[in-house]
Amino acid sequence: MLIDPFQPEWQSDLTRFHEALPHGASLKLLIDSAFVPKLFQQLGNASHLALLFEFLPGCSKEAKEVSPFVVSFDPRDKSQVRLLKRCSGWPMLHVLISYESTEQLAKRLAAWCIIEVDGQNFNFRFLDTRRLPMIFETLTRQQQREFIGNTIRWHYIGRDGSWSSLSLEPSAKSLSISHKATLDARQFGKLIEDSEPDEMWVQLLDRGVHTHLLPSQRHALISTALQVADKCRLDDMLKIAWCMDCIQASCQSNPDTLQTRLTNWKEENAKNENETLHLPA
């Protein structure tokens, strides 16, 4: 699992979102099938469902199986509840309160699935709820308006398994993007930096590291460990070793505590290296 399991109140909160709908608005589920392929096929009633990738050129059968999709929420639909439970532990579930139809919403969001940076196309992973907060923060004000349209609430399951929300300034009308979304090098750099803790965890997994920490706790610890490492200008290999040490010790993600630990860790490493150099042949 990449995020914490759903908190017990996730379903009652979803019902509360639905009961508080403003007049004329509807609650749409936005779900990323990349983590659970073919998920949309499990819906009992898919008459109000739209796959984002179907609005992109060259959408294959394989692409459809992992396509994000939008579907109207029906609190009486038991198949939806079963489907949503399968999302637990994965960064894939969003709720949007909008005045757009399912198709309008899916079509507008589909335009953001691929972005351009320095003339190259990239998969824009805003559907990954781990990436969404920094992605939204990184967009310009105009890009934010085009991204959300007239969506008035955007909730998503965060790293701790509970609902979080974007801070929106919805447009009075739905704005569609008339060109390919483009990020500059500064924006792209911020997104790469934001993904570093998750990429570090992948490297640690490849080295056989395991932990009893929850995914949210693990991410917080690695994030702080990397901040401390960057402050001390550790090189890439030392960063990996340092993060491995923090995870194996299940350290607290406190900057001051980790700073002291890093000082001692570096001294211990230097001592061990010095002893190795003076071993008899």
Q: What local confidence, expressed as pLDDT, does residue 280 receive?
A: 54
**What is the radius of gyration, based on Cα positions, of the chain?**
22
Calpha distance 34→66 (Å, rounded): 5
CA distances in angstroms from 74 to 19, 96, 189, 222, 278, listed in the order given: 11, 13, 39, 39, 71
Mean pLDDT of 32-60: 84
253-269 per-position pLDDT tens digit:
999 999 999 999 998 88
Domain boundaries, the chain: 10-183, 195-277
pTM of the complete model? 0.91
- As given in the structure block, the two tokens for residue 79 are 């198949």
Whether the per-residue pLDDT at 232 is higher than 90: the answer is yes
Q: Which of 39-43, 136-140, 148-152, 254-258 has the lowest mean pLDDT?
A: 39-43
